[in-house]
Amino acid sequence: MNNPILLKNLRSIPDFPIKGINFRDVTTLFKSAECVKIMTDELVELYKDKGITKVVGIESRGFVIGSALAARLGTGIVLCRKPGKLPADTYQQTYAKEYGTDTIEIHKDAICEDDVVLLHDDLLATGGTMRAAVDLVRKFHPKKIYVNFIIEITDEGLHGRDIFEEDTPLTTLLSV
């Protein structure tokens, strides 16, 4: 899609958080009403006819547009969070990171087998967190799972898309 207004407003910060990383800062998109509208409109267009019943926002930047998208699609929003942030019983998924492991969780009553779920996050780099979120959502046995990111990093030799099965529909708004 690569909307030129979104690309123009996306800030890149070289050597953050460590040398050699070109950090893409989505907060510059979030602070612009025009960009929020463009992102939401584009996502609604992509998913309006898919029967989505729940949008899962991945902590924490996935909550921003995920919530706007859920409101526009007329669906519920489910929070996928780090451990200890959700107050009721949860399902958890632990996954490997570059230096150790991390865990995410979702309330046990958040998704049912009749749901069609769209998982949303800000950035696809290595894909580890979203892959764990997909595996976590599969524990609920929903009818269908879709995956979306605002940005896919493709210019740094990252191939995050490759860790998802071919039958997992995956879209991004920007490729940089």
Q: How does pLDDT run across 14-41, given as a tens digit for each residue?
A: 999 889 888 999 999 999 999 999 999 9
Domain membership of residue 27 (yes or no) is no
- Identify the band that residue 106 occupies on the pLDDT scale cut at 50, 70 and 90: very high
pLDDT at 116: 98
Catalytic residue (one of 24, 61, 81, 131): 61
Domain membership of residue 22 (yes or no) is no
The CATH number for 139's domain is 3.40.50.2020
- Identify the band that residue 108 occupies on the pLDDT scale cut at 50, 70 and 90: very high
61 is catalytic: yes
Domain membership of residue 7 (yes or no) is no
Specify the range with the lowest mean pLDDT, choosing from 24-33, 46-55, 56-65, 89-98.
89-98
Domain membership of residue 37 (yes or no) is no
Domain membership of residue 32 (yes or no) is no
98 is catalytic: yes
Q: How does pLDDT run across 141-170, given as a tens digit for each residue?
A: 999 999 999 999 987 777 899 999 998 999
Domain membership of residue 41 (yes or no) is no
User: CB-based contacts of 71: which residues, under 8 Å, 6+ apart?
Assistant: none
Do the Cβ atoms of 102 and 81 come closer than 8 Å?
Answer: no
Longest dimension (CA), the chain: 46
CA angle, residues 92, 95, 101, in degrees to nearest 5: 105
Structural domains counted in the chain: 1
pLDDT at 132: 97
Catalytic residue (one of 34, 72, 98, 105): 98
pLDDT at 159: 85
Domain membership of residue 171 (yes or no) is yes
Please give the average per-residue pLDDT across 66-82, as a whole number.
Answer: 98
Domain membership of residue 10 (yes or no) is no
| Cα within 13 Å of Cα(4), Cβ side | 0
pLDDT at 34: 98
Residue 60 sits in which domain range?
A: 49-175
